[in-house]
Amino acid sequence: MLSKEGQKIVRAELTKKFGHCYLNLIRKNLKENSVNEYGCNTSEVKLDNGVSICYTSNQNHFATFYLKLQLVGVVNTLALTKRDVTRAGNLRGCEKYHAL
| 100 within domain boundaries | no
Edge-to-edge strands, sheet with 65-71:
35-37, 40-46, 51-56, 65-71, 74-79
The confidence band for 87, taking pLDDT boundaries of 50, 70 and 90, is very high
* Mean pLDDT rounded to a whole number for the chain: 90
Answer yes or no: is 88 within a domain: yes
Let me know: does 47 contact 21? Beta carbons within 8 Å: no
Name the pLDDT band for 50 (thresholds 50, 70, 90).
Answer: confident
Residue 59 lies in a domain: yes
Residue 99 lies in a domain: no
- Give the pLDDT band of residue 33 (cuts 50, 70, 90): very high
Q: What is the pLDDT of residue 24?
A: 92
Q: How many domains does the chain have?
A: 1
Q: Is residue 43 part of a domain?
A: yes
CA distance linking residue 56 with residue 71, whole number of Å: 22
> Is-contact 43 27, C-beta < 8 A?
no
> What was the pLDDT predicted at 22?
92
pLDDT of 2 > 90? The answer is no
Residue 6 has pLDDT above 90, yes or no: no
Residue 60: inside a domain, yes or no?
Answer: yes
- The answer as to whether 77 is a domain residue is yes
Q: 72 pLDDT band (50/70/90 cuts)?
A: confident
Residue 98 belongs to a domain: no
Structural domain including 22 reads 4-92
Q: What is the pTM of this model?
A: 0.88
pLDDT of residue 9: 86
